[in-house]
Amino acid sequence: MRELALVMPVYNEEECIADVVKSWHDELRRLDIDFIMIVLNDGSRDNTASRLAEFSGNDSIRVVNKQNSGHGPTILAGYHTAVDKAEWVFQVDSDDELKASDFDKFWIQRNKYDALYGYRVGRRQSVSRKIISAVSRAVVRLFYGKGIIDVNIPYRLIRSTILKEIIDQIPDDTFAPNVIISGALVSSGLPIFNCPVAHEHRKTGMVSIVNWKLWKAACRSFWQTINCRPWLGGKRT
């Protein structure tokens, strides 16, 4: 079993994906980590697949080209693969908003914690997304407890044994599994590390969910977060 499995969902990121994958690959090698990157192309309609094909000869990078199922189900698919391959699982998005250069702050602290979370500094959001982020945080605190600052951040390092126990109880079609995972972790009382990470506004591609679709997706996420309550360590969260 490797030390680390990195899960990266991708959708229509042809302009930056090769650079993003390379930056993470090079940083993990620099840190001398035994790792595998699981890059899941979620049915992209642009040239993402061809850009990812550039890494076909690299044993540390596994590219999965799959039918489109959405961001949340793609993350879960990656997690289910990752927990059987490494002691730690790290998830990051492919839009280059959160950089590999901050990862060492997490890796050197990992033995003291069961989950290590970033929280975004310098993030620019629309009013709608600010409201949704605030409500997500409030829902987790109300129904699960406090302990994670940025409950939906795609920059999280979790012990695979713990993550496996949680995701085995989350339906595969869940829209925002990372919020539910955060809730399960804080309610368990396990030690969690919160660390600031620099956020850069995306320079390429487009946000896939906007306007009324964003609010519809948020409502679905809130409902699933309230109703999907994983058990962890024999305790109902």
If one counts the domains in the chain, the total is 1
CA 58, 59, 60 angle in degrees (round to 5)?
90
CATH number at 200 reads: 3.90.550.10
Q: Residue 14: what pLDDT?
A: 94
How far is it, in rounded angstroms, from Cα 47 to Cα 51?
A: 6
15-22 own/partner pairs: CB under 8 Å, 24+ apart:
15/204, 15/205, 16/94, 16/95, 16/96, 16/203, 16/204, 16/205, 17/48, 17/51, 17/52, 17/94, 18/51, 18/52, 18/54, 19/96, 20/94, 20/95, 20/96, 21/52, 21/55, 21/61, 21/94
Mean pLDDT of the chain: 88
Q: Residue 212: what pLDDT?
A: 52
Cβ atoms of 107 and 157 within 8 Å: the answer is yes
Q: Which residue has the higher pLDDT, 135 or 29?
A: 29
Alpha helices in 122-159 (DSSP H): 127-143
pLDDT at residue 132 greater than cutoff 90? no
Which range, of 50-54, 154-158, 174-178, 213-217, averages the lowest pLDDT? 213-217
How far is it, in rounded angstroms, from Cα 84 to Cα 147?
A: 27
How far is it, in rounded angstroms, from Cα 160 to Cα 86?
A: 7
Task: Work out whether strand 192-198 and strand 155-159 pair parallel, antiparallel, or are unpaired.
Answer: unpaired
pLDDT at residue 163 greater than cutoff 80? yes
Confidence of residue 35 (pLDDT cuts 50, 70, 90): very high
What the block records as the tokens of 125 is 């959001």
Q: Residue 231: what pLDDT?
A: 73
How far is it, in rounded angstroms, from Cα 191 to Cα 181?
A: 14
- Using alpha carbons only, how large is the chain's radius of gyration in Å? 17
Q: Which of 5, 86, 90, 77 is nearest to 41 (CA)?
A: 77
Question: Would you give the distance in Å from CA 148 to the centre of its chain?
Answer: 14
Confidence of residue 131 (pLDDT cuts 50, 70, 90): low
Residue with the two structure tokens 């080209």: 65
What are the pLDDT digits (tens) for 111-125?
Answer: 999 999 999 886 766
Range of the domain at 19: 2-236
Q: Which of 157, 146, 54, 51 is nearest to 100 (CA)?
A: 157
Which range, of 24-33, 83-92, 133-142, 184-193, averages the lowest pLDDT? 133-142
Q: Residue 205: what pLDDT?
A: 54
What are the pLDDT digits (tens) for 76-125?
Answer: 999 999 999 999 999 999 999 999 999 999 999 999 999 999 998 867 66
Q: Between the CA of residue 150 and those of 62, 122, 132, 172, 206, what are the distances in Å?
A: 28, 13, 12, 23, 22
pTM of this prediction exceeds 0.85: yes
Provide the edge-to-edge strand list for the sheet that holds 115-121. Answer: 61-66, 35-42, 2-10, 86-92, 155-159, 115-121, 192-198
What are the pLDDT digits (tens) for 179-233?
Answer: 999 999 999 999 999 999 998 876 665 555 445 566 666 676 667 777 777 877 7
